[in-house]
Structure 1
Amino acid sequence: MAARLFLLLGTRKGAFILEGDAGREAWSLRGPFCEAWPINHVIGDAATGRIFAGGGNEWFGPAVWQSEDLGASWTHSSQGLAHPEGEAPVKAVWSLALAHGALHVGVEPASLFRSDDGGQSFTPLPALREHPSRPHWQPGGGGLILHHIVPHPQDPASLHVAISAAGVFHTADGGQSWEPRNRGTRQDYAPEDQRYPEVGQCVHSLVMAAGNPDLLYQQNHCGMYRSTDAGLHWTSIEAGLPSTFGFPAAAHPRDPDTVFLLPLNGDTAGRFMPDASAAVWRSRDRGENWQALRTGLPQGNAFFGVLRQAMAVDRLDPAGVYFGTGSGEVYASADEGETWRCIARHLPTITSVETMVLP
Structure 2
Amino acid sequence: MTTPRFLLAVGTKKGLWLATSEDRKTWTVAEPQFLMQEIPSVAIDTRGGRTRLLVGVRSEHFGPTVVHSDDLGATWTEPEQGSVVFPEGTEAAVERIWQIQPDSEDRPEVVWVGAEPISVWKSTDGGATFELNRALWEHPDRDRWAPGAGGAAVHTIVPDAEDPEQVHVAISAGGVYRSTDAGASWTARNHGISAYFLPDPSPEVGQCVHKIAADSEGRLYAQNHRGVYRSDDRGDTWVSIADGLPADFGFVMLTHPRRSGTAWVVPLVSDWERVAPGGRLAVHRTDDAGESWRSLDTGLAEPDWNTVLRDAASVDTAEPVGVYFGTRGGSVYASADEGEAFQEVIAHLPDVLCVRAAELTAPPAGAAHDAGQGT
TM range (shorter): over 0.9
- Work out whether 1:56 is the aligned partner of 2:58: yes
Deviation of the 1:189 alpha carbon = 2.2
- State the distance in 2 between where 1:274 and 1:236 align: 20
Match of 2:156 among 145, 148, 159: 148
Query: Shift of residue 119 of structure 1?
Result: 2.7
Matched-pair contact (CA < 8 Å) for 1:167–1:203: yes
Q: Secondary structure at the match of 1:331?
A: strand
2:339 pairs with 1:343: no
Taking the aligned partners of 2:62 and 2:254, their CA distance within structure 1 comes to 31
1:165 pairs with 2:173 = yes
Instruction: Give how far 1:36 is off.
Output: 3.9
d(CA) in 2 for partners of 1:256, 1:106:
26
Question: Any gaps of 5 or more consecutive residues in structure 1?
Answer: none
More divergent stretch after superposition (287-296 vs 69-78): 69-78
Is 1:292 aligned to 2:300, yes or no? Answer: no
Work out which of the residue numbers 125, 131, 136 in structure 1 matches 2:133: 125
Determine the C-alpha separation between the residues in 2 that align with 1:310 and 1:10. 8
Secondary structure class of the residue paired with 1:54: strand
* Aligned residue number for residue 9 of structure 1: 10
Change (3 A) 1:58 1:131: farther
Aligned partners of 1:278, 1:228: CA distance in 2, in Å?
29
Q: How does 1:37-116 map to 2 (within 5 A)?
A: 37-47=37-47, 48-56=50-58, 59-77=61-79, 78-82=82-86, 84-85=88-89, 87-99=91-103, 100=107, 101-116=109-124
Deviation at 1:86, TM superposition (A): 5.6
Q: Secondary structure at the match of 2:358?
A: strand
1:316 aligns with 318
Residues 62, 81 of structure 1: 8 Å contact kept: no
Partner residue of 1:252? 256
CA contact (8 A) 2:312 2:355 kept: yes
Structure 2 runs not aligned, ≥5 long = 362-375
| 73-82 or 242-251, which deviates more | 73-82
Amino acid at match of 1:27: W
Conserved 8 A contact 2:6-2:359: yes
Q: How big is the shift at 1:87?
A: 3.5
What letter is aligned with 2:299? Answer: G
Identity over the aligned pairs, expressed in percent? 42
- Between the aligned partners of 1:295 and 1:178, the Cα distance in structure 2 is 42
In structure 2, what residue type is equivalent to 1:274? Answer: P
| Cα distance in structure 2, aligned partners of 1:163 and 1:226 | 17
Q: Measure, in 2, the Cα distance between the counterparts of 1:57 and 1:156.
A: 34
Distance in 2, matches of 1:86 and 1:256, equals 41
Kept in 1: contact 2:190–2:238 (CA 8 A): yes
Within the candidate set 276, 279, 304, 1:273 is matched to 276
- Stretch deviating more after TM superposition (218-227 or 34-43): 34-43
Number of residue pairs the alignment of both structures matches? 351
Q: Give distance in 2, aligned partners of 1:83 and 1:280.
A: 42
Contact 1:14 / 1:31 at 8 angstroms: preserved in 2? no
CA distance in 1, matches of 2:44, 2:90: 35
2:373: which partner in 1?
none
Q: How far apart, CA to CA, are the structure 2 residues paired with 1:261 and 1:294?
A: 12
- The equivalent position to 2:213 in structure 1, one of 182, 207, 213, is 207
Q: Aligned equivalents of 1:46 and 1:179: distance in 2? A: 31
Over 3 Å counting, the alpha-carbon distance change for 1:58 and 1:227 in structure 2 is: farther
Q: How far apart, CA to CA, are the structure 1 residues paired with 2:128 and 2:121? A: 12
Give the deviation of 1:316 after TM superposition. Answer: 1.3
Cα root mean square deviation, aligned: 1.6
TM-score, normalised via structure 2 length: 0.90
User: Residue 86 and residue 122 in structure 1: after superposition, are their counterparts in 2 closer, same or farther (change >3 A)?
Assistant: closer
Shift of 1:72: 0.6
Answer whether contact 2:4 2:20 (CA < 8 A) is retained. no
Higher RCO structure (Cα 8 Å, ≥6 apart): 2
Is the partner of 1:76 in helix, strand or coil? Answer: coil
Q: 2:242 aligned with 1:238, yes or no?
A: yes
- Sort the Cα spacing of 1:174 and 1:34 in 2 relative to 1 into closer, same or farther, 3 A: farther
1:261-306 per-position Cα deviation (integer Å, ceiling 9, x unaligned)? 101111112x111110111101111011111112111232x11100
SS of aligned partner of 1:65: strand
More strand by share: 1
Change (3 A) 1:175 1:86: closer
Deviation at 1:336, TM superposition (A): 1.2
Residues 58 and 108 of structure 1, relative CA distance in 2, 3 Å threshold: farther
Structure 1 runs of 4+ with >6 Å offset: none
Deviation at 1:80, TM superposition (A): 4.9
Deviation at 1:57, TM superposition (A): 5.8
